[in-house]
Structure 1
Amino acid sequence: MVTQLPSSTSKGIIYPESDGQPMADNTKQFELIVLIKKNLDLLFANDANVFVAGDLLWYPVEGDNTNRRAPDVMVIFGRPKGDRGSYKQWEEGNIPPQVVFEILSPSNTVKEMIVKYKFYEQYGVEEYYLYDPDKYELSGWLRSHDQLAEISQMTGWVSPRLGIRFELSDGELQIYRPDGQPFLTYLELAQQIEQTQLELAQERQRTEQERQRAEQAQSQLEALRTLLQAKGINPDEL
């Protein structure tokens, strides 16, 4: 996480906007975090009241600046998009993140992940997804009353909140949009846009060629009519 200047409230309590920890420990973890975050941005681009954040500190309790977590990705329904230095829940209509994602790295300990799980359970997360890219293990929990209950089968699971589907293909995590399209990397999205632009350009070229051929045929027809009329022949009577 990029270190930023701390913020404060009118009560003088400072809520730091950085925990001093890196966003990711390696390229694999970083790429997965970016993949999920950016594709969720695209998925909810037209909904002004869905806020998606990556590696943003979440403070659930006003007055307590030590009780905090920075999920790799979190999604909050009912809050507007926009820049934030941290997510202070009491300033956000007291709405907690409904969905959080964590991507394991080699430095994560079992104790650390248990603490995160308990935090998410205590403070109202509805869906919690955890993926280990080294072991190709995907786990998920869904809120049932006051607890996060483990989802027994994650392959083919569809998020109730997000509508996205999880699959494990050859051990690799694959996520699909509600329309069935897969989550794409930035490079894949750029290549897709480039291909679409190429196809549009080719279609415009074909349309222009058809227009030119039609104009040429019309010109030839008019020339023939003129020639027939010059010979005293009415082309409409032929």
Structure 2
Amino acid sequence: MTTIDAVFPEPVVDGSGSRTLDRGLRLLSLVCASPVPLSVAEIATASGLHRSICYRLVRTLAHHDLLERDPDGRYGAGGGLAVLAGRLEPRLQAAARPHLERLAEQTGMTAFVVAAHGEDAVTVLVLEPQTGLAHVSYRPGGRHRLEVGAPGLAILAGRPEAAGERPEVTRARTRGWATSVGEVIPGYHAVAAPVVEADGQCRHAVAVVYAGEGDPARLGPALVDTARRIAADLA
């Protein structure tokens, strides 16, 4: 199971902020990072919080549609997260949407755009293909460290070389696209390309996510082309 420390910063302990709000946000991040819905007991174990505290936080988050309770009483990401994510970087979303739609249909895979926020990569826009038998369901608002997962690696590859960077970043900078397997969600593959804007800055990446077989060598060039188109429309 994903641990809360792996997906969110250290907790507030010095009185500089609201401890309750901090716990709620960390719990929300934990649930959203899990590949499967979690019970309150599982959330309590993974977060290290008392079960009664987790129950109150989960109920509050679900009331605001940030978490969603399934028929088995387990919790996953709620639809309210997509509403919040839809208000993030509207200019990027407007520029990326038509190209992301084309990419999703071209590959038959779920396509998405991430934005760098501090040391994290945040999923801003997700589009699923309208054709094909099956595809991965993925929600906006997901967050992970830039150093893990193809989208984060792609953003780093779009920037100047940094001391101590992962070999995968160096490789992605050379070929133009990054890959990862199971680094954000166990069992899932991702391929991503950096969106380098006219000012030379790389703040975003475009990616596809899939389960099972895929051909990164075929997907990579398609992602590079999509990234260039998005960058041109952002200029």
On whether the aligned pair clears a TM of 0.5, the verdict is no
Instruction: Looking at secondary structure, tell me which structure has more helix per residue.
Output: 2
Length-normalised TM-score, structure 2: 0.31
Q: TM-score, normalised by structure 1?
A: 0.30
Query: Greater relative contact order (Cα 8 A, min sep 6): structure 1 or 2?
Result: 2
Which of 1 and 2 has greater Rg? 1
